[in-house]
């Protein structure tokens, strides 16, 4: 296991340790196995489930574990009490568990206060949650900021409960403790950072939670052994309160964030979707749009809205970070969302692999997105003399030839490689090859960027 534990308060801005060399099988099967390992853990916005999850992530990448005390004021919010649960059930008069936390950790209303009593069916119903729209699935429900207790069950099971006396027990605790999150900085040549964030707060939900964790780990492992332009900060945080807490603690550091995206719902079989940052035209927005357009498959680009995952915190007007959100089917738009049907059968290894590949290609675009200067801008250079033009006339130019021509025409020091690639609609790999060929021929020079 790699990493360390920090107790954080305002003003703690210490840098994280250098990453170690990482090597592992990053394909979809590996990510799917990791999702399977994390699936049984009961997570919430605080507590041992989050720590167990982070400890398992640390078996793959060298996180620093950060502990923030309950009661700390973070902007308009307060770090909540820590919640832990050991067992929960509803027993009928014969002593049979008719609702059992050991069967599914979704059976308990998240953050339920402890309770142990006997009640009748009518009173029990006041504490039961089901979804008539999906009668065979257990819904995921929480009560983070208002003390309550309850159980979740399928609507079919709710309708079948007989009139009886029931023993209800939730063996939980809600007391002063910590909010826990994991952070990894993969250092590049620049101190400017790309933020990659995912949430670790949901119990057994594979697409909405675990898929983002698995893809983020795969990206971190791959980037950890590369020579990078930017530094990459990976966050494994509880949703909403985690990003708010991190932003409050790290506020003086936020000016280093130049690009970023949230990973969530990246394991289902739907088409890729990117939700733009609040800025709408940030470089990360244009990079994701270009990569998805070049993929040759169906995709969707959504405008920013102040509803969703942690991108809405990063994009709040006081922060206004260039952070979007990458997903496949957006949250709330698949019936399995926040139900027991978001299980291991709902995510797939090919989808995880495809999501990771698209994310990595987008990172590559950001990494290589320099501006260039045509060193012979007075008309078109005689490319044949540089071995860059076919001597046979009468045929259409190929992609590489067109990329060379576009680069020479647009490289006036003001257009980035992404600007040119998006305009000529050519693949990123071809654009990079054209840059290499022109640079080696002495026709193109990278514009020096200010420190």
What digits encode the pLDDT tens for the residues 108-156?
A: 999 999 999 999 999 999 999 999 999 999 999 999 999 999 999 999 9
Residue 108 carries which DSSP code?
B
Residue among 38, 376, 92 nearest 214 (CA) = 38
Euclidean distance between CA atoms 242 and 13, whole angstroms: 17
Q: State the burial class of residue 227 (Cβ atoms within 10 Å of its Cβ: 0-12, 13-18, 19+).
A: exposed
pLDDT value of position 449: 80
pLDDT value of position 451: 61
Give the global pTM.
0.92
Please report the sign of the dihedral spanned by the C-alpha atoms of residue 247, residue 58, residue 139, residue 164: negative
Enumerate helices (H) and strands (E) in the chain, giving the number of each: 12, 20
pLDDT value of position 11: 32
pLDDT value of position 1: 41
**Structural element, H or E, at residue 401:** helix 399-410
Residue among 317, 178, 332 nearest 264 (CA) = 332
pLDDT value of position 397: 64
Instruction: Please report the domains of the chain, with CATH numbers, ordered by start residue.
Output: 4-79+180-367 (3.40.630.10), 82-175 (3.50.30.90), 370-446 (1.10.10.10)
Q: Which parts of the chain have pLDDT scores under 50?
A: 1-25, 391-395
pLDDT value of position 230: 98
Tally Cβ neighbours within 10 Å of residue 434.
27
C-alpha distance from residue 72 to each of 154, 199, 246 (Å): 37, 20, 12
**DSSP3 helix / strand / coil % (the chain, rounded to 5):** 30, 25, 45
Q: Which residues are 183's β-sheet partners?
A: 64, 235
Tokens standing for residue 134: 């999906």
Residue 256 carries which DSSP code?
G
pLDDT value of position 97: 98
pLDDT value of position 8: 37
What digits encode the pLDDT tens for the residues 395-407?
A: 456 899 999 999 9
Euclidean distance between CA atoms 304 and 278, whole angstroms: 5
Euclidean distance between CA atoms 57 and 209, whole angstroms: 13
Tokens standing for residue 327: 């997903």
pLDDT value of position 287: 98
Euclidean distance between CA atoms 164 and 153, whole angstroms: 17
For the CA atoms of the chain, what is the radius of gyration?
25
What digits encode the pLDDT tens for the residues 67-106?
A: 999 999 999 999 999 999 999 999 999 999 999 999 999 9
* CA 85 to the chain's CA centroid: 26
pLDDT value of position 389: 77
């Amino acid at each position: 296991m790699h990493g360390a534990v920090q107790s954080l308060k305002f003003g703690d801005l210490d840098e994280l340790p250098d990453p170690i060399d990482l090597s592992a099988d990053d394909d979809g099967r590996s990510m799917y196995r990791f999702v399977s390992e994390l699936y049984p853990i009961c997570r919430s916005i605080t507590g041992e489930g989050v720590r167990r999850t982070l400890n398992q992530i640390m078996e793959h990448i060298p996180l620093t574990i950060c502990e923030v005390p309950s009661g700390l004021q973070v902007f308009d919010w307060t770090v909540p009490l820590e919640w832990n649960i050991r067992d929960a059930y509803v027993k009928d008069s014969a002593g049979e568990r008719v609702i059992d936390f050991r069967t599914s950790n979704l059976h308990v209303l998240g953050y339920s206060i402890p309770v142990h009593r006997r009640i009748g069916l009518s009173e029990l119903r006041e504490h039961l949650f089901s979804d008539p729209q999906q009668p065979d699935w257990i819904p995921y429900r929480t009560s983070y900021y208002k003390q309550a207790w309850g159980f979740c069950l399928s609507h079919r099971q709710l309708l079948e409960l007989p009139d009886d006396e029931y023993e209800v027990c939730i063996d939980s605790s809600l007391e002063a403790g910590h909010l826990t999150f994991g952070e990894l900085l993969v250092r590049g040549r620049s101190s400017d950072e790309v933020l990659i964030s995912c949430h670790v707060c949901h119990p057994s939900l594979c697409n909405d939670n675990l898929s983002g964790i698995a893809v983020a780990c795969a990206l971190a492992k791959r980037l950890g052994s590369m020579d990078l332009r930017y530094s990459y900060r990976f966050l494994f945080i509880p949703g909403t309160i985690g990003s708010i807490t991190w932003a409050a603690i790290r506020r003086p550091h936020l000016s280093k964030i130049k690009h970023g995206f949230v990973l969530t719902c990246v394991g289902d079989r739907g088409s890729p979707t990117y939700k733009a940052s609040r800025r709408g035209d940030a470089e990360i927005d244009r990079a994701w749009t270009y990569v998805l357009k070049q993929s040759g498959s169906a995709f969707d680009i959504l405008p920013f809205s102040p509803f969703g995952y942690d991108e809405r915190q990063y994009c709040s007007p006081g922060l206004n970070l260039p952070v979007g959100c990458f997903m496949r089917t957006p949250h709330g738009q698949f019936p399995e969302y926040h139900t027991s049907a978001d299980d291991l059968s709902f995510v797939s290894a090919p989808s995880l692999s495809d999501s990771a590949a698209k994310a990595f290609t987008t990172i590559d675009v950001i990494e290589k997105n320099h501006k260039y200067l045509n060193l012979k801008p007075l008309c078109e250079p005689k490319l044949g003399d540089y071995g860059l033009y076919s001597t046979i006339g009468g045929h259409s130019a190929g992609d590489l030839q067109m990329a060379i021509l576009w680069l020479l025409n647009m490289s006036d020091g003001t257009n980035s490689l992404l600007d040119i690639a998006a305009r000529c609609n050519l693949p990123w790999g071809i654009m990079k090859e054209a840059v290499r060929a022109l640079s080696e021929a002495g026709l193109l020079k990278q514009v020096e960027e200010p420190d």
